[in-house]
Structure 1
Amino acid sequence: MSPQDPTSRSRPPPEGEEEATSVLNLGEFQNVDGLTLSEASLVINAVLAKRTKEGKNMNQNELLPRTLNYLDTFARFKKKENVEAVERLLNAHPELAKFEKAQLGSLCCEKADEAKTVIPSLADKITDEDLQELIDEIGKLMTD
């Protein structure tokens, strides 16, 4: 074997090269609808309520209660009407990707520059003024 011969097989490129930087590269999730934490909370609680009403035994592992606790802690909008209003506000901006809308609805930034820092792909999609107006409207719907 010469010094240039490889000592092992070349590795395939790693899967999951997704990035949410200045350019969104979400792989197979690129155009998938995203849920805000508040929407996820509503969906999971609605499914649980339906199954309980139907008398279906829920085989719960430890993940479901932990997930519900997380969503209860971090979901910014508790009332269904407010969750729907936030969704309408976000959907009024077709220039934003579904991922960006879900992030804006979950993170609830206070300023446009903060939003563009934590969601860098917003930089060239929406003006600071329009983003601030959206953030302010979302902020009015927050509940305790």
Structure 2
Amino acid sequence: MAQAPTAREKVQIGGDEEAGTELKLGEFQDSPSLSLSAARVLIDAVVTRRGEEEGRTSIVQEPILVKMREYLDEFARFKEKSKVADLEANLEDNFPELHSFERSQLVSLCCQDAEEAKTLIPSLANKLDDDRLQALLQDINRARAVLE
């Protein structure tokens, strides 16, 4: 008698999305990407505006929105709108060779050194040399240190 399987068969997800040494973002290839910090600023602005439109300072939020805001409050490295805007503009202006996904990951992860960044974001390996990447990471971490 055959033994029953102990796990469900793994379902293969269709699509060609992969953030490996070559970015394959499928239908999202040309879509802008937000860092966790930028997403936090955006969500806060939307919630504030909705409250103002309804004439209240506090609005009832859906549970998923509450959870998302809690997550972003916990993991967004930069909380100030101006700091997020400055970082995003700096990266876009000075590192045009980077995809918006890579830039958003760098701001979200705040890697300590080039090796860590290339391990977590493999597509950086072919775009920036270690010295330039290290200088970028130091700028991001300096901006973060000012806030702490």
Same fold? TM cut 0.5:
yes
Q: Distance in 1 between matches of 2:130 and 2:89?
A: 20
Shift in Å at residue 89 of structure 1?
2.1
Matched, 1:27 2:29: no
Q: Distance in 2 between matches of 1:72 and 1:60?
A: 16
Shift in Å at residue 78 of structure 1?
1.0
Q: Distance in 2 between matches of 1:18 and 1:56?
A: 42
Identity %: 45
Matched, 1:138 2:130: no
Aligned residues: 132
What is the SS of the residue equivalent to 1:123? helix
* Equivalent residue number for residue 7 of structure 1: none
Matched, 1:44 2:46: no
Shift in Å at residue 53 of structure 1?
1.0
Q: CA RMSD in A?
A: 1.6
Shift in Å at residue 88 of structure 1?
1.8
Unaligned runs of 5+ in 1: 1-12
Q: Distance in 1 between matches of 2:20 and 2:31?
A: 17
The structure with the largest helix share of the pair is 2
Shift in Å at residue 61 of structure 1?
2.4
Against the structure 1 CA distance between its residues 93 and 52, is the aligned structure 2 distance closer, same or farther, given a 3 Å change threshold? Answer: same
* Stretch of structure 1 that moved more, 73-82 or 47-56: 47-56
* Equivalent residue number for residue 105 of structure 1: 107
* Equivalent residue number for residue 8 of structure 2: none
Normalising by structure 1, we get a TM-score of 0.85
* Equivalent residue number for residue 74 of structure 2: 73
* Equivalent residue number for residue 115 of structure 1: 117
Q: Of the two, which has the highest radius of gyration? A: 1
Q: Distance in 1 between matches of 2:123 and 2:53?
A: 44
Against the structure 1 CA distance between its residues 23 and 79, is the aligned structure 2 distance closer, same or farther, given a 3 Å change threshold? Answer: same
Residue identity opposite 1:44 in structure 2: I
Against the structure 1 CA distance between its residues 106 and 14, is the aligned structure 2 distance closer, same or farther, given a 3 Å change threshold? Answer: closer
Q: Distance in 2 between matches of 1:113 and 1:46?
A: 35
Runs of 4+ in 1 over 6 A off after TM superposition: none
Q: Distance in 1 between matches of 2:35 and 2:120?
A: 15
Normalising by structure 2, we get a TM-score of 0.83
Q: Distance in 2 between matches of 1:14 and 1:110?
A: 33
Shift in Å at residue 37 of structure 1?
0.5
* Equivalent residue number for residue 8 of structure 1: none
